[in-house]
Structure 1
Amino acid sequence: MQRTLNYRGLDIYIELRPTSKDMFEPWLRIDGATRDAGTAAFGTLIKVRGGPYSRRWAYFVAEIAGQTSIDLILCPEG
């Protein structure tokens, strides 16, 4: 299952991988025109910690993790 969200001009690609009945591990990738050479998150699928989750929670946790990552990439000083 896949979903792509736009946040602050960058895309958060979320992929859910099933682990058991109705449980999923969320993975995310950040894509966009702005690329910081020192940021490994761009274009790389990253497993979100703490799973597995129900489908609804997996999408929610991945979305928040992606938004937080983008906030840190774009505004590292606060």
Structure 2
Amino acid sequence: MERMITYRGFEIHVELTPAAEDTFNVTFQIKGGTNLEVLGARANRITLHNGPFTERWAYLVGEVAGHAAIDVLLGPIG
């Protein structure tokens, strides 16, 4: 299951893979921009720890992690 969220000109791709009944492991990938090397190898998925999560929490955790990574790259808003 995958969801794409746009944030500050980037795309955050959150992917869930089943871990057990009604729980999921989460990975995310950031696409867009030209300075993604700062965040690690370009185009690689990042696995989130401390899961598995329910579906709703998994998407939220993936989105927040993506936001944080982009904010590290671009600096604070405003």
Same fold (TM over 0.5): yes
**For residue 9 of structure 1, what is the aligned residue in structure 2?**
9
Once the two structures are aligned, what percentage of the paired residues are identical? 39
Q: Distance in 2 between matches of 1:36 and 1:53?
A: 27
Q: CA RMSD in A?
A: 1.6
Of Structure 1 and Structure 2, which has the larger fraction of its residues in helix?
A: 2
The within-5 A match list for 1:1-78 is 1-40=1-40, 42-75=42-75
Q: Which runs of 5+ in 2 are unaligned?
A: none
Which consecutive segments of 4 or more residues in structure 1 shift more than 3 A?
Answer: none
Give the superposition deviation at 1:75: 1.3
Give the superposition deviation at 1:50: 1.1
Q: How many residues align?
A: 76
Give the superposition deviation at 1:37: 3.4
Q: TM-score, normalised by structure 2?
A: 0.88
Q: Distance in 1 between matches of 2:25 and 2:58?
A: 7
